[in-house]
Amino acid sequence: MTILYALVARGSVVLAEHSGTTTNASTIARQILEKIPGNNDSNVSYSQDRYIFHVKRTDGLTVLCMADDSAGRRIPFAFLEEIHQRFVRTYGRAVLSAQAYGMNDEFSRVLSQQMEYYSSDPNADRINRLKGEMSQVRNVMIENIDKVLERGDRLELLVDKTATMQGNTFRFRKQARRFRSTVWWRNVKLTVALIFLLLVIVYVIFAFVCHGLTLPTCLK
């Protein structure tokens, strides 16, 4: 049998457990429950001789099993995930206030059945492999979506930059029209000034010429 022992606990309070053989797994399991650091969700494994204690903690609920070291990690953690889902689905919020071994009479049978299934039924590994493959697909899908979202952000940035460029173009055109208007009025003023200057010059020349012509007449 691959999985030899299992329990479900809230913190260090054991709510249900089952052992498939005579060992001191229960004592070691309680030591592990007391030594698990922090309250964060985690998946960890601890070695003890040729056995491995696998621990899954999710939302304050800890599921633990002891398995042969030859079992690897895939099957034991698939077992822990299944037990966690069944336990939460069966007892819900009652888990938060249950007394020690409050679910043992009923759920120890579930532990026994699932330990047997994941230890000896080839379908357990096939299903778990399929779940693993689906998980990989999900990860790839999420990664692909992230890339699409990243491209979307880049497109949005490009749109923003385009809008900024359009605003800059509009301001440039407005400034260009204002500059052309300023230059046009400046040219008009310059042209008027030149015309006025030419008129003054013409007037001075004309006055000088007229004065030069009338001067001899005055001398006579």
CA dihedral 45, 69, 135, 149 (to 10 degrees): 40
Domain of residue 129 covers: 1-164
Tokens of 52: 């491995």
**How many domains are there within the chain?**
2
User: Which among 128, 97, 93 has a CA at the least distance from the CA of 3?
Assistant: 128
Say yes or no: 68 and 107 in one domain.
yes
Say yes or no: 121 and 21 in one domain.
yes
Instruction: Return the pLDDT at 167.
Output: 54
Say yes or no: 72 and 138 in one domain.
yes
pLDDT, mean of each 10-residue run, the chain (220 residues): 90 92 86 79 84 89 91 88 94 90 94 91 67 51 42 42 51 68 81 86 79 52
Are 73 and 45 spatial neighbours (Cβ–Cβ below 8 Å)? Answer: yes
The CATH number of residue 57's host domain is: 3.30.450.50
Residue 11 φ then ψ, to 5°: 65, -120
Say yes or no: 131 and 29 in one domain.
yes
Instruction: Return the pLDDT at 178.
Output: 74
Say yes or no: 122 and 62 in one domain.
yes
Say yes or no: 155 and 192 in one domain.
no
